[in-house]
Amino acid sequence: MVTLSIDGIGSDALINQLAPDLAIASGSACASGTVESSSVLRAMGVNGAALNGAVRVSFSRHQTDDEVSAVVNRMVAAVQRMRALA
């Protein structure tokens, strides 16, 4: 699992671009299904846009390096599309 925030990109927008094909969500894993930001990130001192834009991408231990690279490429393409529209 990796949690990240991309400057200028809201979590909802990124999730809408990438779901349902990826295991991507906002908030913490233990609060799955809620719209609240991650309490873990808040406890770490993350706030503002970085907190509200954070997404969690989950991976399986069975995924290959090529599959992970494909996820990264899809995320980059989605961010580029959203920035082009802004």
Nearest to 30 by CA among 1, 59, 5: 1
Gap between the Cα atoms of 72 and 12, Å rounded: 18
Spell out the domains of the chain, with CATH numbers in brackets. 2-85 (3.90.1150.10)
Q: What is the pTM of this model?
A: 0.77
30 is catalytic: yes
For residue range 31-70, list pLDDT tens digits in order. 555 556 777 888 888 888 888 889 999 999 999 999 999 9
Gap between the Cα atoms of 80 and 86, Å rounded: 10
Catalytic pick among 7, 20, 21, 30 = 30
For residue range 22-40, list pLDDT tens digits in order. 889 886 655 555 556 777 8
Gap between the Cα atoms of 14 and 52, Å rounded: 12
